[in-house]
Structure 1
Amino acid sequence: MMNDQAPIAAARTPDQLVDDLRQLLAVEQIDVDLYRGARQPGGVGRVYGGQVIAQALVAAGLSTPAERIVHSLHAYFMRPGDEEVPIIYRVARDHDGGSFSTRRVIAFQHGKPILTMTSSFQTLEAGLSHQSEMPDTPAPETLVDEADQRRAVAAQVPERFREWFLRPRAFEVRLVDLPPWLSGAAAAPTQRIWFRAVAPVGDDARMHRAMLGYLSDMYLLGTSTRPHGVNWMVDAMQTASLDHSMWLHDDIRIDDWLLYVTDSPWAGRGRGFARGEIFSRDGRLVASVAQEGLIRRRNPR
């Protein structure tokens, strides 16, 4: 939904970058089922949508039994988040059954909702099993680090975006398919992206899932713009996530390589639709994602 445009801070170690993200997502309880989400340090402009999803998911999880793990979430973005103030999360405990718990979260800023999200948690059990096959993809070790690709083209990025474009992140990313800002050409509406946290995250399963929710909003909507040869560095584009759904199928470790396979079957009427599958390195389908977002060309001023 939103661009996480934050100035580059002083050099941070990989462990510090991951700890910064962990602290950002660890919401503070201020009353029963009421939580405060921290600002992104140095953040300016609009809040990154994955941050709101992840903080809402952490807040929802704090009201559920520890043995119940989130298996799905469905969110709608209503207003841009403001990086100048914290976000307040109100949790409604809609249902607690024998195996499942359902939670509803509303995120507020300035007294108005910016996001609503429903999530479902399940006590894990065995069951019938099948899955999609992971596509044949080059190993991440054979690919260039995206951070190096960004540095190589940084001089072409408008100055007002350059610090955000080059900022250090808590995730290492290896792109299988070149993005428009690097290739400069139209491409098929598909992407394959390897990613992992740059340092160990620990053994808190809920934090691994929250960080996956944080990252799942990256790259997805951009898949729907690839066939049109647009480049946000030179084209006047308005983009924003409108909704976001994620299904978590299996255990994950965000600090081990995961493959994000995305496609966009449709775009039109100012909107783009994209889907994603996330595989572990050993081929397990661990999550599925879907999103519709705004993709508009802006009229020149």
Structure 2
Amino acid sequence: MNNVVHHLIDLLKLERVSEHHFVGRSQDIGFPKVFGGQVVGQGLSAATQTVENRHPHSLHCYFLRPGDSSQPIEYHVEVVRDGRSFSLRRVTANQFGKCILAMTVSYHIEEMGLDHQAAMPNVPGPECFQSELSLYRAHANEIPEKVRGLFTADRPIEYRVVENQNPFRPRPDMPRRHMWIRSVEALPKDPLIHQSMLAYTTDYGFIQTALLPHGISINNPNLNVASLDHAIWFHRDFCLDDWLLYVADSPSASHSRGFARGQIFNRSGQLVASTAQEGLIRYNGE
């Protein structure tokens, strides 16, 4: 298995210290702060390991403090309720005795019922686009040297953006983005691996959708962006080692906050998950 994929699977498994206490390693991706998607994915993994015969259908979390990417993270899971159909877990992620993330995850038994969904947008397939990584490598000379290795390194998830632009000199555009995503290698059949890896992936580039109308690069030195919260709803089964279309739009930005919402479809057109996020966007440019 590809080293970067194996590393991510291992990162999301966690070390189980006791029944409701887990420890996760931090991923150093070149920044002092922990990537928010890592904490979301690890938190979901911790909660799910305390539940039997039920699947996560939603999670909601708040990023309370920036995490230190050089230090491990402790996860404490509280059993809030185990009912006949639903279970609820509350998770806190801690470093240095302080909470960096608070999350609730709800679980549901397998149950049949009414079924409908929004239609998948009609966009070309992933084979029509270059990977985002190849674009970064093509524009490597525009990346500051101190972070060039970070942006051009191998990744466990491949991203192919339909509305491809030069990521360092974007032009103003509609606040909408279509991105094909998948693991760069086949994954084990364990649903928790696919769910926690998708949770990890959904935070990547999500709030950047709110920057599109303004033509501002995420790498702009006058820009400060940070995720404030994150929510995911799992609707249907999916495989992250097959292409999924992540559709994101940003209906609002105000008061130094941007809001984004997302839909994730498989190649058959099934809506498998939905997301929402608000992020801090402080811009001190002209």
Q: Does 1:114 align with 2:112?
A: no
1:46 to 33, 39, 43: 33
Residues 42/261 of structure 1: CA separation in 2 closer, same or farther (3 Å cut): closer
Q: Does 1:198 align with 2:184?
A: yes
What SS class does the counterpart of residue 51 from structure 1 fall into? helix
Q: How many residues align?
A: 286
Superposed CA RMSD: 1.5
Residues 71/282 of structure 1: CA separation in 2 closer, same or farther (3 Å cut): same
What SS class does the counterpart of residue 202 from structure 1 fall into? coil
Residue 71 of structure 1 deviates from its aligned partner by 0.4
Which residue of structure 2 lines up, in the alignment, with residue 131 of structure 1? 117
Which residue of structure 2 lines up, in the alignment, with residue 23 of structure 1? 10
Tell me if structure 1 keeps the 8 A contact 2:26–2:72.
Answer: yes
* Greater CA drift, 194-203 or 232-241: 232-241
Residue 299 of structure 1 deviates from its aligned partner by 6.7
**Counterpart mapping for 1:1-301 below 5 A:** 15-40=2-27, 44-65=31-52, 67-179=53-165, 181=167, 184-298=170-284
Residue 234 of structure 1 deviates from its aligned partner by 3.8
Letter in 2 for 1:204: D
What SS class does the counterpart of residue 181 from structure 1 fall into? coil
Residues 219/42 of structure 1: CA separation in 2 closer, same or farther (3 Å cut): closer
Residue 143 of structure 1 deviates from its aligned partner by 1.1
Letter in 1 for 2:92: I
Residues 299/191 of structure 1: CA separation in 2 closer, same or farther (3 Å cut): closer
What SS class does the counterpart of residue 191 from structure 1 fall into? strand
Residues 235/187 of structure 1: CA separation in 2 closer, same or farther (3 Å cut): farther
Letter in 1 for 2:242: D
Tell me if structure 1 keeps the 8 A contact 2:183–2:242.
Answer: yes
Residue 172 of structure 1 deviates from its aligned partner by 1.4
* Greater CA drift, 166-175 or 277-286: 166-175
Residue 245 of structure 1 deviates from its aligned partner by 0.5
Which residue of structure 2 lines up, in the alignment, with residue 10 of structure 1? none
Residue 44 of structure 1 deviates from its aligned partner by 4.2
Residue 142 of structure 1 deviates from its aligned partner by 1.3
Tell me if structure 1 keeps the 8 A contact 2:232–2:274.
Answer: yes
Q: Which runs of 5 or more residues in structure 1 are unaligned?
A: 1-13
What SS class does the counterpart of residue 225 from structure 1 fall into? helix
Tell me if structure 2 keeps the 8 A contact 1:70–1:119.
Answer: yes
The whole-number CA distance in structure 2 between the counterparts of 1:111 and 1:298 is: 33
Letter in 1 for 2:146: R
Residues 133/183 of structure 1: CA separation in 2 closer, same or farther (3 Å cut): farther
Letter in 2 for 1:51: Q
Q: Which runs of 5 or more residues in structure 2 are unaligned?
A: none
The whole-number CA distance in structure 1 between the counterparts of 2:153 and 2:87 is: 38
* Greater CA drift, 250-259 or 40-49: 40-49
Residue 205 of structure 1 deviates from its aligned partner by 0.6
The whole-number CA distance in structure 1 between the counterparts of 2:150 and 2:173 is: 25
- TM-score normalized by the length of structure 1: 0.92
Residue 23 of structure 1 deviates from its aligned partner by 0.3
Tell me if structure 2 keeps the 8 A contact 1:26–1:55.
Answer: yes
The whole-number CA distance in structure 2 between the counterparts of 1:231 and 1:190 is: 15
What SS class does the counterpart of residue 8 from structure 2 fall into? helix
The whole-number CA distance in structure 1 between the counterparts of 2:165 and 2:198 is: 21
Letter in 2 for 1:115: L
- TM-score normalized by the length of structure 2: 0.96
What SS class does the counterpart of residue 45 from structure 1 fall into? coil
